Amino acid sequence: MITCFDIGGTAIKCAVATADGKISELHRVPTPTKDFGAFTDAMRTLIVAGGLSRGVAISIAGVIDPDDGRIKCANIPCIDGRTLAADLTAAFGLPVWIINDADSFALAEAHAGAGRGHPTVFGLILGTGVGGGLVIGGRLISGPGGFAGEWGHGPVAAQFAGTPPQSIPRYRCGCGQTGCLDTVGSARGMERLHLALHQSPMDSREIIAAWQAGDASAERTISCFIDLLSGPLAMLVNTVGASILPVGGGLANSAPLIARLDQAVRAAILRKTGAPIIVPGQSGVEPGLIGAAWLGLEKLGSAHV
């Protein structure tokens, strides 16, 4: 039995996973973001309440430096820069494994969602940011520190998009580069595009609603948005050979948007197929806990969740 956590800037969510494939009822407490002692105390209370645990698996928004084991986690200042796995192992006296939220989503989709039965699954995150994770043969391809699958970063965003072609500004990314897909392919990116194209600020949900209602300005924004993402995604599919790309994050809530992205990507990949390959995620409301459970049980050599 292991204790699994999905930790965000607002809440710590916890469940227990057992080797017979069951995940316990969810428990949730507020995340202490500024006091590391309070942070570990909150986790310890949940571990003890769950019963005898053989380890702790954590899904969290952040990446681990492969050289020194330090986490970069902007929304929880008390853990940012810490050797979190080592610090928590010392605090709990249990092995601790950490997975970032995009990788956790990919694992959850591969084993309990849209990726079931597919040998190669790439989980896409289209929300506040652009991210992803790759699962081959049921196993996460994590790379050093969890950096694999981060297709949203790198200065490769096209400078023209849409039909007819429209000049697209190059935006500075939070990772320090200029021109990352994260700056134009996220929900905030869609809003930047709309503002640049029409000089009118709108929320991404409003843009999507206007597009579905037939608004010409919103259609132009969506056209550019799809154009900017579909080329890199087609290259990704051609490179890793994924047969399904489940989507998580806020933009996955728009089935028409995901369907349009799917059509554009399928038109651009080498392997032609009539079946959708980019689909909304199906692993449920707690993919972070499911993914963390899979990671922990795999580390212990246990059975499926």
User: What are the C-alpha distances in Å from 134 to residues 124, 243, 295?
Assistant: 9, 11, 13
Amino acid 147: pLDDT: 67
Amino acid 303: pLDDT: 39
Residue 86 DSSP label: H
Segment among 51-65, 90-104, 205-219 with least mean pLDDT: 51-65
Same domain, 123 and 260: yes
Residue 142, pLDDT above cutoff 80: no
Asked if the structure places residue 304 within a domain, the reply is: no
CATH label of the domain that carries residue 165:
3.30.420.40
Asked if the structure places residue 187 within a domain, the reply is: yes
Asked if the structure places residue 111 within a domain, the reply is: no
Same domain, 126 and 148: yes
Taking only the tens place, the pLDDT of each residue in 247-267 is 999 999 999 999 999 999 999
Sign of CA dihedral 118, 124, 125, 131: positive
Q: What's the rounded mean pLDDT across residues 26-43?
A: 93
Nearest 5°: the CA angle 235, 148, 277 is: 40
Same domain, 128 and 275: yes
Q: What's the rounded mean pLDDT across residues 273-280?
A: 95
Give the containing element (helix H, strand E) for 123: strand 120-126
Amino acid 305: pLDDT: 46
- Name every residue whose Cβ is closer than 8 Å to that of residue 303 and which is 6 or more positions away in sequence: 19, 20, 21, 297
Same domain, 267 and 120: yes
Same domain, 254 and 294: no
Asked if the structure places residue 175 within a domain, the reply is: yes
Q: What's the rounded mean pLDDT across residues 75-80?
A: 89
CA pair distance 99, 107, nearest whole angstrom: 10
Amino acid 21: pLDDT: 60
Taking only the tens place, the pLDDT of each residue in 160-188 is 998 889 899 999 987 788 999 999 999 99
Same domain, 31 and 123: no
Q: What's the rounded mean pLDDT across residues 197-203?
A: 95
Residue 274, pLDDT above cutoff 80: yes
190 near 173, Cβ under 8 Å?
no
- Its domain, for residue 262, covers 116-280
Sheet holding 96-100, edge to edge: 27-30, 11-17, 2-7, 56-60, 96-100
Same domain, 97 and 212: no
Amino acid 294: pLDDT: 83
Asked if the structure places residue 109 within a domain, the reply is: no
Which residue from 249, 301, 286, 251 is spatially nearest to 113, judged by alpha carbons?
Answer: 286
Upstream peptide bond of 164 is cis (omega within 30 degrees of 0)? yes
Same domain, 289 and 275: no
Same domain, 292 and 258: no
Asked if the structure places residue 138 within a domain, the reply is: yes
Give the containing element (helix H, strand E) for 267: helix 255-268
Amino acid 304: pLDDT: 44
Model's pTM, two decimal places? Answer: 0.85
Chain CA centroid to CA 134, Å: 11
Q: Report the mean per-residue pLDDT for the chain.
A: 90
Same domain, 272 and 289: no
Same domain, 215 and 167: yes
Q: What's the rounded mean pLDDT across residues 84-96?
A: 94
Chain CA centroid to CA 10, Å: 17
Which residue from 140, 182, 177, 146 is spatially nearest to 72, judged by alpha carbons?
Answer: 146
Share of the chain above pLDDT 90, in %: 65
Q: What's the rounded mean pLDDT across residues 125-147?
A: 83
Residue 69, pLDDT above cutoff 90: no
46 near 3, Cβ under 8 Å?
yes
Taking only the tens place, the pLDDT of each residue in 93-113 is 999 999 888 899 999 999 889
Amino acid 26: pLDDT: 82
User: Based on the structure, what is the number of domains in the chain?
Assistant: 2
Asked if the structure places residue 110 within a domain, the reply is: no
Asked if the structure places residue 305 within a domain, the reply is: no
CA pair distance 139, 161, nearest whole angstrom: 36
Same domain, 192 and 243: yes
Neighbours of 119 (CB within 10 A): 14
